[in-house]
Amino acid sequence: MNFSFILFTLFSGSALANILYIYNWTEYIPSALLAEFTKQTGIKVAYSTFESNEEMYAKLKLTKGGGYDLIF
């Protein structure tokens, strides 16, 4: 099972999911995969990255855990 299929399954039924906000490790998901996901589903991906746990925790604390649909 590939990542694109999993995201499609999770978000294809949501009429409100025009943009999927992902926060993930740097270079974890290839940009080509994100583009293919958008092509197959019509859902745009806003992809933000972090390079350390400290950076991730600081941003999540600042935003009170909001602003992202998926955090890896």
What's the token pair of residue 28? 């974890």
Percent of the chain topping pLDDT 70: 76
Does pTM surpass 0.85?
A: no
Judging by beta carbons within 10 Å of its beta carbon (0-12, 13-18, 19+), is residue 37 exposed, middle or buried? buried
pLDDT category at 72 given cuts 50, 70, 90 is confident
Q: Which CATH class is domain 3-71?
A: alpha beta
